[in-house]
Structure 1
Amino acid sequence: MQDRNFDDIAEKFSRNIYGTTKGQLRQAILWQDLDRVLEEIGGRKLRVLDAGGGEGQTAIKMAERGHQVTLCDLSGEMIARAQQAAEAKGVSKDMHFIQCPAQNVASHLESPVDLILFHAVLEWGGRSCRRIRNALVSIASWRRIVVDVL
């Protein structure tokens, strides 16, 4: 299975995934886990990579909390939606957007990141997931990666 690009179904994805009670529940569970990780780290400001970050829901919330966030996604449409949402929330200055597959993002980063978010990607990535995970872990300064398999 190849990586899935959501350019052709971005609106449907937004409406049917994040616009539902299930999507809101997924985000709530994710943030329960993320809050624990952030508490362990001790409240310092982080360099965060949201790999396969889609429309940026998680990345934007991290930027709202004062972190520097890079969002990468294969879909140009999702990147455009994330940029627009970041501008609307007033956090675009704390974010960087890269259109590329998650496994290729290392070549676009200027320095290692402190935390990698890999939310809701595994269900779409097929066999490439192990390769993606290995590529991501290699760029984390703390080797900390948050993987969501919901």
Structure 2
Amino acid sequence: MSTTTPAAGGPAGSEEARREAAAWATWQESPWGRLRYRVLAVLLRERCAQLGPAPLRVLDAGGGDGRDALQLALAGHEVTVLDASPDVLGAARAAATAAGVADRVRTVAADLEDLTALAALTRHRAGGSGSFDVVLCHDVLQHRGGAQQVADDVATLASSLRPGGLLSLMAPNPAADVLAAALRDGPAQAWVVLDAERGEDPATGRSVLRLDPAVVEAAVGAAGCEVVGRAGVLTVTTLLEDAHRADERVVADLEELEVELSRREEFRRTARFWHLLARRR
């Protein structure tokens, strides 16, 4: 998940941290959790293929147990997973070993605040630019302290990219909060959520920023990157009351539908997650 994951979000070994980590793991294994990773994997593989042949150098900042990174390692890319939690990094290494790609997955115990130093260590001598072809930061920014910190984070992430490199950002979509509240709790709750600055993480219930993708796009532009792709991830799945009972065949059908919907502009604004792709100038 992130350098501010539930597992890393509280005091080491605290009961609250363990509860949040367990809730996140349960969400990951749910049909909608699995679909989030599957749909995004399709989008990322397509975009990475446009950058050039494998291996590309990929940084997954706040990559948690490496579920996004692993898909790119399986496609032949060299991936560095950065997270502050040793436990989830251990899970990332175990998953890479089980998938036969341990030689392509490196883990680094660090926080987003450490990225500036890491970027300095990985710069090309010519041009002073970061060395990664692709930088991922998924399900992280909503856990940060506020809009200015998010802008600073985006600038730091962009500095880790080579010119022409690809930045992939994803977070829960505020518009989806309103739809979910109206369907599950009624119109009154939807009004409460509509303009709130903070909301609940859909996986853990933890308080998070409600990040308008337009605000993040502005930060992306200020960081010297140009948005080259916008998508919505999980348009219908998380609104289905019985999705938790879906068998694998239904999940496969939903995956095909969700991938197609993620490519269509009219569904992007109400999907559970917004996804931005930007290229460093």
Counterpart of 2:24 (choices 4, 13, 32) is: 13
Pairs within 5 Å for 1:84-123: 84-108=94-118, 110-111=121-122, 112-123=131-142
Structure 1 unaligned segments of length 5 or more: list them. Answer: none
Q: Who is 1:52 aligned against? A: 62
CA-CA distance at 1:53 after TM superposition: 0.4
How far apart, CA to CA, are the structure 2 residues paired with 1:52 and 1:28? 18
How far apart, CA to CA, are the structure 1 residues paired with 2:51 and 2:62? 23
Runs of 4+ in structure 1 off by over 3 angstroms are 2-5
Q: Who is 2:265 aligned against? A: none
Instruction: Please state if 1:28 is matched with 2:38.
Output: yes
Q: Who is 1:67 aligned against? A: 77
Alpha-carbon distance change, 88 to 95 in structure 1, aligned in 2, over 3 angstroms: same
Pairs within 5 Å for 1:124-143: 124-127=143-146, 128-141=149-162, 142-143=164-165
Instruction: Please state if 1:144 is matched with 2:166.
Output: yes
SS of the equivalent of 1:43 reads coil
How high is the TM-score relative to the length of structure 1?
0.86
SS of the equivalent of 1:97 reads strand
CA-CA distance at 1:4 after TM superposition: 4.4
How far apart, CA to CA, are the structure 2 residues paired with 1:44 and 1:90? 17
Q: Deviations over 1:24-69 (max 9, x none)?
A: 2211331232133123213332000001101111111111111110
Q: Deviations over 1:7-28 (max 9, x none)?
A: 433333111x211111122113
- Larger relative CO (CA 8 A, sep 6+): 1 or 2? 1
How far apart, CA to CA, are the structure 2 residues paired with 1:113 and 1:14? 29
How high is the TM-score relative to the length of structure 2?
0.48
Structure 2 unaligned segments of length 5 or more: list them. Answer: 9-16, 123-130, 172-272, 274-281
How far apart, CA to CA, are the structure 1 residues paired with 2:150 and 2:7? 17
Instruction: Please state if 1:42 is matched with 2:52.
Output: yes
Worse overlay, 3-12 or 96-105: 3-12
How far apart, CA to CA, are the structure 2 residues paired with 1:97 and 1:32? 23
Q: Which has the larger radius of gyration?
A: 2
Count of residue pairs the alignment pairs up:
148
Alpha carbon RMSD of aligned pairs, Å? 2.1
